[in-house]
Structure formats: C-alpha cells, structure tokens
C-alpha cells in the first residue's frame, strides 16, 4: 500500500514567525498557576486570533439580520456575508460552494449523513435515494481508532436498519492494520467511515488505499477530517472521498460551526435529515418539496456570525500557509514522539518515532493515572488533554482507561515543546515511579 503522507520539503515556520503569530492570540499571554500558559490542547479546541474575534463582533454590531429571509437591505447584506463565507471555506478544501453544508460541528455533520441514510432506508427520497439505503445483509465499516462522533451514529444506523457494523483493527501500538482491510471491506460494504488523522495516535490514514478498496465494491466513503483540515493541506478532489466533515473550533474558528462536504450529486439525492424553514420550495398541509443542497440540509436559523468568523480563520491559515503549518507540526510531532519514547516508564501510543504523524502525541505513564499526570502539568501552567479522548474502544484495545495527549498548532513554540518534555520527565519521579 502507498505511504500515508509524502515527506514535505516546505520550510517550517521559524521561531520569530511563531512569536509574531502568538502576538495575535490574546489568550496566549495569560499565566496559569503562576506560570506562562503553555497551551498544548489544540487537538481539542484551538485558540482564536484577534481577527476571528473581531469578525464575530463586527457582524453582531453592524450586519446582524436573518439570512435568506428578509427582503430589506440589512438582511441582503447579512446573506451576502454568509454566502461569501461559504465560498471561502469551500475553496479552502478545493470544493464548490454548492457542496458545503453548514452544521453546528463535525458531530452534527456525521449525524446528518447517518440520519439521511436512515431516512433513505425508511423509504424517503424516492428512487434517487437508493444508493443510501441499508438493510439486513449490508455492512458499515469503521476503524478501531474512531472518535465516538464517527462511531455512535453508525452504531445507531446499523441498529435502525438491521445492517452490520464492522471495524478495521489496530495493532498493540494503536496503528491501523491495513493488511486486514481487504478481509473486512467487501461486497456487503455500503459505507466506509474513518478518520483522516487519529485524534489519539496522530497517525495519518492511507486515504487513497482505503478509498480505492471501498470504490471496488461501490461503497460510499465518509472522512472525519477534524484533525486534518486545520493542520494539513486538504483537497477533496485529490482525496477522492464521497463525504468529509470538519469543525470550526479546531481551526481557529468559533464554537457552534462546522461543515459537511459532499459530492453535489450525492447531496442532491439524499433526503433531508432536519426539516423546517428555509430548506423548502413548496409546503402544503400534506407534504413538502425541498431545495437542492446545501439549503436542503440547513433548516432553521443558521450560525451566521460563526460562519463569517470561520471564513476569517481560513484567511488567517491561508496567509500563514498550510504547507508551512504542516511542516512545523510534523517536526513537533516527531519531537514529541522521540522525547516521550525516551522517558523511562512512558508508553508512546501510535506510530513509532520516525513514522510520519501529525503534531500530537499521546502516552501512558506506568503506575500513574492520566488525570494525575494532567494535574502535574497543569500545576506548571501546561494545558494538555487527559482521558479517553472520546475514543474508548481504542483505549480498551490498548489495555488503557485513559491517556495524556499533547497537541500543537501554528502558534506552538519550541519553548512550549521543551517545557512539556521537561515536565514529562519529572512526572514519574514525582509520583515515586519511574526514574
């Protein structure tokens, strides 16, 4: 199978550039517990630059109105800003704006896909919805790496339709066993859903290989891109998937906004999941006709200020350069992996050092619970993520209940990584464990 990621030769951001970027993020100037904040939890939620904060404020104070509804000038202005934001965000992933559906986040987007497939399976959508119908004998395939948001909707869909849910396994390090894919994906597979980048291991999936295998059997592919769109150059045409989802709050944007991208022909054939105002053409007391995508999936009041702020975040990322962001984080991911693997008593989760990974790393410290590890870091002003990271099946497969994760972004500095690794080496001795 092909390599999951080509080695990049793009120059990483230097420390002076990172310092200039950090100055645009007010929260990074804070102190926590008497220490300068070291924020290494961007995999959960990224911080926001001044430009994004100001974009939401400016809309609320100058342009707030109901989009796609009012006939007055202010409403027209709000609608134009809203749709311009769609065009900007769609272009960021190489898509047409008619293929981008606003949602409240990636979780909502994945539930929208599964819910629409469920509606199709219940007979809605007519003949055009036939490719989305599932029943007994059909199979949905996920991986053992998935975030709960890309697992539970498929569990629910399988339960509603009688389809079988299967998974691609991982090895003892938490690395996907690709050789098993051809044993799991086959003629019964109707949907293959998987993460582009694991939020626990940092491993980057071999998308081309998995898409090609699914395509051999006519299966639809759904890509959870929450940990890739903010960090890697992503082009939906190159990836070849059928659907892709991501969240704004992980890419310098606000909460409450995310997006579903889908091939236009598929979106137009899918029955709606949420219904109500703004997604219809004609309504009678006995029935309704629906708009084409994306509006058919955008019932009700939309996250207008959030969409505009997300478009501003996209502009910020484009100004920095996704190639350079990726190069910077790839180097940080390697530093984290090497540093953690060298500490006595630490178990690095995911790819071994030297294997391409995103700019994050998770670990377990022998004899010390992850929550205690996290408190040790927090006392030193270092914000990391502890717990199962919404990936309980993966942790259970690895014999763990929780782990500790450090995740970087474009504003992470060498000093941040140094502080983390220095603290990581002290945790074991502090708790009387590894030395």
- CA–CA–CA angle 247, 216, 1 (5° rounding): 75
Of 128, 152, 390, 425, catalytic? 390
Residue 30 half-sphere exposure toward CB, CA atoms < 13 A:
14
95 closest CA partner among 233, 285, 263, 246: 263
Annotation says 226 is catalytic: no
Which residue pairs, CB below 8 angstroms and at least 24 apart, start in 107-111? 107/149, 107/247, 107/258, 108/258, 109/245, 109/246, 109/258, 109/259, 109/260, 110/149, 110/150, 110/153, 110/193, 110/222, 110/224, 110/245, 111/153, 111/273
* Residue found under tokens 């998937």: 241
Tokens of 78: 């709000």
d(CA 408, CA 412): 6
Q: Where are the alpha helices (DSSP H) in 36-72?
A: 50-62
| Phi, psi angle pair for 261, to nearest 5° | -105, 140
DSSP string for residues in 331-342: HHHHHHHHHHHT
139 closest CA partner among 182, 179, 178, 191: 191
Residue 27 CB: number of other CB atoms within 10 A? 12
Query: How do strand 35-36 and strand 31-32 relate by DSSP bridges?
Result: antiparallel
Positions of E strands within 86-175:
100-103, 139-143, 164-168
The burial of 130, by beta-carbon neighbours within 10 Å (0-12 exposed, 13-18 middle, 19 or more buried), is given as exposed
Known catalytic residues?
390
């Amino acid at each position: 199978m092909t390599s999951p990621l080509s080695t990049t030769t793009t120059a990483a951001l230097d420390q002076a550039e990172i310092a200039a970027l950090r100055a645009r993020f007010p929260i990074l100037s804070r102190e926590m517990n008497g220490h300068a904040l070291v924020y290494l939890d961007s995999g959960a939620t990224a911080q926001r630059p001044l430009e994004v904060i100001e974009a939401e404020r400016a809309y609320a104070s100058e342009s707030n109105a109901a989009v796609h509804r009012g006939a007055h000038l202010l409403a027209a202005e709000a609608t134009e800003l809203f749709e311009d934001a769609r065009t900007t965000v769609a272009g960021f992933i190489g898509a047409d704006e008619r293929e981008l559906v606003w949602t409240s986040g990636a979780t909502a987007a994945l539930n929208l896909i599964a819910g629409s497939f469920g509606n199709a399976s219940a007979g809605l959508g007519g003949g055009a919805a036939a490719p989305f119908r599932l029943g007994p004998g059909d199979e949905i395939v996920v991986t053992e790496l998935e975030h709960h948001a890309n697992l539970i909707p498929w569990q629910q869909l399988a339960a509603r339709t009688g389809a079988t849910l299967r998974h691609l396994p991982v090895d003892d390090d938490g690395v996907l066993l690709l050789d098993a894919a051809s044993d799991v994906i086959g003629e019964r597979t109707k949907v293959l859903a998987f993460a582009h980048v694991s939020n626990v291991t940092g491993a980057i999936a071999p998308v081309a290989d998995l898409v090609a295998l699914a395509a051999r059997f006519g299966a639809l592919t759904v890509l959870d891109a929450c940990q890739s769109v903010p960090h890697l150059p992503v082009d939906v045409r190159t990836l070849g998937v059928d659907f892709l989802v991501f969240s704004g709050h992980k890419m310098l944007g606000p909460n409450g906004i995310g997006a579903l991208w889908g091939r236009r022909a598929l979106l137009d054939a899918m029955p709606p999941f949420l219904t109500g105002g703004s997604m219809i053409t004609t309504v009678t007391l006995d029935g309704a006709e629906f708009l084409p995508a994306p509006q058919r999936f955008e019932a009700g009041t939309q996250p207008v200020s959030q969409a505009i702020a997300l478009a501003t975040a996209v502009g910020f990322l484009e100004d920095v350069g996704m190639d350079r962001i990726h190069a910077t984080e790839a180097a940080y991911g390697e530093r984290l992996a090497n540093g953690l693997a060298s500490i006595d008593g630490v178990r690095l989760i995911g790819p071994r050092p030297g294997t391409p990974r995103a700019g994050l790393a998770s670990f377990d410290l022998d004899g010390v619970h992850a929550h205690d590890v996290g408190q040790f870091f927090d006392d030193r002003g270092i914000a990391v993520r502890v717990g199962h990271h919404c990936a309980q099946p993966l942790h259970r497969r690895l014999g763990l209940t929780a782990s500790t994760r450090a995740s970087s972004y474009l504003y992470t500095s060498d000093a941040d990584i140094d502080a983390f690794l220095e603290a990581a080496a002290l945790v074991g001795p502090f708790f009387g464990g590894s030395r």
